[in-house]
Amino acid sequence: MTSPWHHKPFTFRALAKTFGPMWLRCDVCRRYARFRMVDGLADIDYRTKTFSCSRCGAEAYMAVVEPIKETGMADYRLDELDNPQRHQAAADRLTGRHPRACVNLAAGELPGRKVDGRR
C-alpha cells in the first residue's frame, strides 16, 4: 500500500521526487551542471521553463542520468558555477531582440564553405 502523492503534478518538486538528482547539459559546448532547485522554482510547472548555458548561451536540456555515464557522452565536462548568470546571447534569443540571420540555401552550398573548383 502506498501513501497519496503530496506534490502538485508537473512541478520541479514532483520531478525531483520522481527522478532524484538531475542535471542540465549543453550539447554545444559539451558541459553539464547539477540541477539545483533554487527558491521559488520548486512549485513552478517545468513544462513552461527553458534553460540556457551560462558559458555559450545555447539551449540547455534537463537530463535524469549524469551525461558522462551515458554511452557516447564521455567527453562532457562538469562545469559547476556558484552563481551562474544568464549569457547575453541567451537573453537576446529568449526576448527576440536580435533574431538569427536566415540562411539562404538557394545556391546549394552551406554558408562559409569553400568550393573546390577542381571537382
pLDDT range class, residue 37, cuts 50, 70, 90? confident
How far is it, in rounded angstroms, from Cα 23 to Cα 25? 6
What are the extents of the domains in the chain? 12-95
Instruction: Count other Cβ atoms within 10 Å, centred on residue 13.
Output: 16
H/E stretch holding 16: helix 12-19
pLDDT in tens, 42-97: 888 988 888 888 888 888 899 999 999 988 888 898 988 777 777 777 777 767 77
